[in-house]
Amino acid sequence: MTGKLQHKTALITGAGRGIGRAIAECFARESAQVAVADIDPDTASTTAAALGSGALGLAMDVSSKASVLAGTAQVLDEFGQLDILVNNAGYLVYTTFESCSEENWDRIVDVNMKGPFLCAQAVIPHMKTRRQGAIINMTSLAAKTGGLAAGPPYAAAKAGVLTLTIGLARALAPDQIRVNAIAPGVIDTAMTAAPEHDQLKASIPLGRSGQPEDVAHCALFLASDDAQHITGETIDVNGGLYMD
């Protein structure tokens, strides 16, 4: 522990498990106060309790503006400030162009693309007032490949997050708010446990699937002052599975 996030408060969505939980644990180790947001209030509370007294667990559906605004207000009431937003919440149903239902399309796009927009929109006024902040969006390898093992709505939504990241970075730079993204490849979580990912896992140049902690360490870098002159960028964390 080096205290890289001392005196900082972070809101992390989808933080009850998987990559989100790993980011929450990493940030807490670096002395941040952490708001653990998840659509499942039980996992949010459990993770927050494991982090200790500097953490807050709250229920949040990132696809609902009312839920996002209520959760953001709760974080500000509890901690008095919000320095870092990590838009990690995600939703995936394996589908094809032919089989994708309208309901699946809407839910996947709402969580994965509209969610980061709503969360950013909610925190921007506070960050602008303080003239500081870091927003980290979670995109995906699928955004660059068309979704080899994820399906069209997920790939399209994550590609939208790439563009959203650049647009936010340009708009918020005058207020000293940095906006960057992480594009994970195949990370060992429940989301990549399906057989569709087996072939991808076997073709990773570094010879192994990623771990949630690999993504968390990248998020820590982007959230910290080590990245104070970086904005509008997307960092791949994929073991070399896709290189550009």
Which pLDDT value is given to residue 193?
62
Alpha carbons 10 and 136: distance in angstroms, whole number: 11
Which pLDDT value is given to residue 185?
93
Identify the CA nearest to 13 among candidates 137, 97, 188.
137
> Which domains does the chain show, CATH number per domain?
9-237 (3.40.50.720)
Alpha carbons 212 and 48: distance in angstroms, whole number: 17
Task: Spell out the per-residue pLDDT of the chain, length 244, in tens.
Answer: 679 999 999 999 999 999 999 999 999 999 999 999 999 999 999 999 999 999 999 999 999 999 999 999 999 999 999 999 999 999 999 899 999 999 999 999 999 999 999 999 999 999 999 999 999 999 999 999 998 778 999 999 999 999 999 999 999 999 999 999 999 999 988 766 666 667 778 889 999 989 999 999 999 999 999 999 999 999 999 999 999 8
Residue of 91, 94, 154, 242 marked catalytic: 154
Which pLDDT value is given to residue 171?
98
Which pLDDT value is given to residue 199?
78
Alpha carbons 220 and 233: distance in angstroms, whole number: 15
Give 178's strand partners: 134
Residues 6+ away with beta carbon under 8 Å from 28: 34, 51, 52, 54, 55
Establish whether 91 is a catalytic residue.
no
Which pLDDT value is given to residue 179?
99
Which pLDDT value is given to residue 196?
65
Residue 121's CB: how many other CB atoms inside 10 A? Answer: 14
